[in-house]
Amino acid sequence: MADSSTLQKINALDPDKDYWEIARLSAFYEFPWDNTRALELALFRTFAVPSISAILYKTREFEKRTQKRYDDTDLILSEILENGIDSDRARAAIEKMNFIHSHFNISDEDYLYVLSTFVFEPERWINKYGYRKLTDNELKSSFKVWQELGGLMGIKNIPATKAELEQFNIDYERKNFVEAESNKAIALYTENLFLSWMLPKQLYGFGRPFLHAIMDEPLLHAVGFGKPNWMIQKMVDTSMALRKIAVSILPKRTKPVLRTRMPRKESYPNGYAVSELGSIQTKAKCPF
């Protein structure tokens, strides 16, 4: 857990001006584990949309290089969030992300939905599973960070208010969460990756229902997964409740947990340059 002074600083900062700093303090000191799991779930939700999953399926990146695909997405977003929008590394990561996306025919509505998941999934996850609920400053700052980043990505018609974006998120899922073979394929590749971090392949079948217990029914239905039985659901809910208590009494965190500093032995055993991230490479290597 973060030092109490971290929360005090969050509450003392101005979310209209200091939103990047508030977002960093919240994500890297207060809720590093929760924020990572929530962003994983945010990306997983996009697999429930056939127009998105079909593009991902055609690249075959999730099938052949699932860990690298995960690492690339994680590192690009982490470079931006950790370093701040005005840093050279963040600008290089945004440029790389836009370059990759330019190779695919992605609708503005789909772009906006993905952006909305980055705003609302961390909020929903932390308010449910975090050791405390997010403050008003954290909520406002998260929206402003992703709103600004969405503008730099060239996303059109980003709502001016958080309430409007949330309504778009809800309406979009009701309309576009539809079963498709590509949904299930991409979701299964990704789920296998998550399970590989904890279990041998022979036990994937045992572990799947525990992952499904943190997913809602519309998501499970759209990706072709079943709802876990009540016993597994109860076990997961109890475990997360106990974790919440444990985190609240753990020693206070004094250093940030930064995703860019973590080893990526399979994808980048010798480290990485921002220009190397993603399956589509720029012709010129940027120096970062």
Reduced to 3 states (helix: H, G, I; strand: E, B; else coil), residue 253 is strand
The answer to whether residue 193 is domain-embedded is yes
Asked if residue 48 belongs to a domain, the reply is yes
Q: What's the confidence (pLDDT) of residue 287?
A: 30
Q: Is 282 within the bounds of a domain?
A: no
Q: Per the domain annotation, does 288 fall within a domain?
A: no
CA distance 83 to 242: 33
Contact 50, 183 (CB under 8 A): yes
Q: Which two tokens stand for residue 257?
A: 């947990």
- In this predicted structure, what is the pLDDT of residue 256? 95
Spatial contact of 177 and 189, defined as CB atoms under 8 Å apart? no
Q: Please indicate, yes or no, if residue 106 is contained in any of the structural domains.
A: yes
pLDDT digit string, tens, across residues 127-153 = 999 999 999 999 999 999 999 999 999
Q: Is residue 287 part of a domain?
A: no
User: Per the structure block, which two tokens stand in for 56?
Assistant: 């991902």
**DSSP letter (8 states) at residue 107:** -
Q: How far apart are CA 156 and CA 118, in angstroms?
A: 16
Nearest to 79 by CA among 261, 271, 266: 261
Dihedral pair phi/psi, residue 2, rounded to 5°: -75, 155
Q: Tokens 């979701």 label which residue?
A: 187
Q: Which domain holds residue 190?
A: 4-276
pLDDT at position 10: 96
146 neighbors 120 (Cβ within 8 angstroms) = no
Q: How much of the chain, in percent, has pLDDT values that exceed 70?
A: 95
Q: Domains in the chain: how many in total?
A: 1
Task: Write out pLDDT tens, residues 179-235.
Answer: 999 999 999 999 999 999 999 999 999 999 999 999 999 999 999 999 999 999 999
Q: Is the dihedral of CA 130, 136, 139, 145 positive or negative?
A: negative
Cβ–Cβ < 8 Å for 22, 10: yes
The answer to whether position 286 is within a domain reads no
215 near 237, Cβ under 8 Å? no
Q: What share of the chain is helix, strand, coil (3-state, %, to 5)?
A: 70, 0, 30
pTM: 0.92
Please give the helix or strand (H or E) that residue 130 lies within, else none.
Answer: none
Which positions of the chain have pLDDT values less than 70?
1-4, 280-288
Give the angle subtended at the CA of 195 by the CAs of 217 and 56, to the nearest 5°: 70
Does residue 285 lie in a domain region?
no
